[in-house]
């Protein structure tokens, strides 16, 4: 609720604060039991920070995080510990996130030791069961990460995340470090595990192709803000934010006539501005082809303009104009 995370920038030995990276700036959203919330946006939009705030790996500068009705925003490490069983994270890099000096058995068994959990039948049997669950061989127990391919390593990371039977799994770019041919396998595995174990997912990705098949709802982020949040069907059939339209036009589709978005490729002008001094008004106005005067001065609130479809734009596509007749923005 209203999540803010600013990272201060300091100068000199006295660490004088000279500015802040506004990584996320006022995010309000929910993740519902059993669903997959996809979060998409270009690198630097704050989506990883959003995932780390939800899992409380980071403490927010402002706003609130509730898990199952409990406020966990400023909970101490000690009080968070039992809750850590319920919220797990899968990381992007299947190489860096596995300790090369530990065996697969040691890695997947770590959560049991950290939490002091003794599974029925012992840790080894439970780890071997988990390895099977993610499509690995129980005999891999004594092997080391370097003996495995990228896709297999990500399966080891998934097994570790599932060890304590979490309720919510936050996966930050779970397949982007993998070969394209392997990506679908890992995405399908996550999908199967969700069904089998009744998991709730938040899956973070930098493009729509990875999350389009697995998400129930999708949040589109731009420069620390959610600009659009909608059911998958609604988002794909009638995207409302110009930025979402641009993202979608970058995803190749087999049949362009079946897409609600503009069928020609939208090329955004310029680069993503710096999150240290984001543009005034609508943060997208420096790159938006629909921008008018109000876009430069007034931030558009995230409003529900259709059932299950929120958008932050003065002039949405496929929806009612919120500032009709406003003068075009002359660059
Ligand atoms: Fe573009 Fe204005 Fe909408 Fe922002 S508010 S996305 S600048 S039309
Ligand atoms: Mg990231």
Span from the CA of 24 to the centroid of ligand 1 (angstroms): 19
Residue identifier of the C-alpha nearest atom 7 of ligand 1: 285
Atom nearest to 282 CA in ligand 1: 4
Considering the chain, what is the average pLDDT of its residues?
91
Choosing from 285, 287, 298, 330 the residue with most ligand 1 atoms within 8 A of its CB, the one to mutate for a pocket test is: 285
Domain assignments of the chain as residue spans, ordered by start: 30-211, 217-311
Return the percentage of the chain with pLDDT > 70, whole number.
Answer: 95
Instruction: Give the model's pLDDT for residue 208.
Output: 87
Choose the weakest-confidence range: 58-67, 75-84, 193-202, 309-318. Answer: 75-84
Mean pLDDT computed over 274-294: 95
**292 or 15: whose pLDDT is higher?**
292
Mean pLDDT computed over 76-81: 89
Mean pLDDT computed over 182-201: 93
Mean pLDDT computed over 82-95: 87
Instruction: Give the model's pLDDT for residue 254.
Output: 57
Structure tokens given for 105: 């058995």
Return the percentage of the chain with pLDDT > 90, whole number.
Answer: 76
Choosing from 291, 298, 331 the residue with most ligand 1 atoms within 8 A of its CB, the one to mutate for a pocket test is: 291
End-to-end CA distance of the chain: 35
**Beta bridge partner(s), residue 204:** 39, 172
Q: Judge whether residue 39 has pLDDT over 90.
A: yes
Instruction: Give the model's pLDDT for residue 307.
Output: 94
Instruction: Give the model's pLDDT for residue 156.
Output: 95
Contact 23, 223 (CB under 8 A): no
| Segment 209-260, tens digit of pLDDT | 888 888 999 999 999 999 999 999 999 999 999 999 999 887 665 555 555 5
ipTM: 0.94
Atom nearest to 285 CA in ligand 1: 7
> What CATH code would you report for 30-211?
3.40.50.300
Q: Residues lining ligand 1, CB < 6 A? A: 241-242, 282, 284-285, 288, 290-291, 295, 300, 313-315
| Segment 131-148, tens digit of pLDDT | 999 999 999 999 999 999
Of 159-173, 180-194, 206-220, give the range with the top mean pLDDT. 159-173
pLDDT-derived band at 270 (thresholds 50, 70, 90) equals confident
């Amino acid at each position: 609720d209203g999540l803010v995370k600013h990272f201060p920038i300091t100068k000199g030995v006295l660490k004088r604060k000279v500015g802040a990276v506004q990584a996320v700036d006022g995010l309000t959203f929910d993740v519902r039991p059993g669903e997959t919330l996809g979060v998409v946006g270009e690198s630097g939009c704050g989506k990883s920070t959003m995932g780390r705030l939800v899992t409380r790996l980071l403490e927010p500068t402002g706003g609130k995080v509730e898990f199952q009705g409990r406020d966990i925003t400023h909970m101490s490490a000690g009080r968070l510990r039992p809750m850590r069983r319920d919220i797990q994270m899968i990381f992007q890099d299947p190489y860096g996130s596995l300790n090369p000096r530990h065996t697969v058995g040691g890695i997947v068994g770590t959560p049991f030791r950290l939490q002091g959990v003794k599974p029925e039948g012992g840790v080894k049997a439970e780890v071997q069961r988990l390895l099977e669950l993610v499509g690995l061989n129980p005999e891999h127990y004594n092997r080391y990460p370097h003996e495995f391919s990228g896709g297999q390593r990500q399966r080891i990371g998934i097994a570790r995340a599932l060890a304590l039977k979490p309720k919510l799994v936050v996966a930050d770019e779970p397949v982007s470090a993998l070969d394209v041919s392997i990506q679908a396998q890992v995405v399908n595995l996550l999908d199967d595990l969700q069904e089998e174990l009744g998991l709730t997912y938040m899956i973070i990705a930098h493009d729509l192709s990875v999350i389009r098949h697995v998400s129930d709802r999708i949040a589109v982020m731009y420069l620390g803000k959610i600009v659009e949040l909608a059911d998958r069907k609604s988002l794909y059939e009638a995207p409302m934010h110009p930025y979402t339209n641009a993202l979608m036009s970058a995803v190749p589709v087999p049949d362009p006539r079946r897409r609600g978005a503009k069928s020609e490729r939208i090329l955004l002008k310029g680069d993503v501005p710096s999150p240290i001094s984001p543009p005034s008004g609508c943060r997208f106005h420096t790159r938006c082809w629909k921008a008018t005067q109000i876009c430069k001065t007034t931030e558009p609130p995230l409003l529900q303009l259709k059932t299950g479809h929120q958008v932050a734009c003065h002039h949405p596509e496929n929806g009612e104009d919120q500032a009709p007749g406003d003068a075009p923005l002359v660059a």
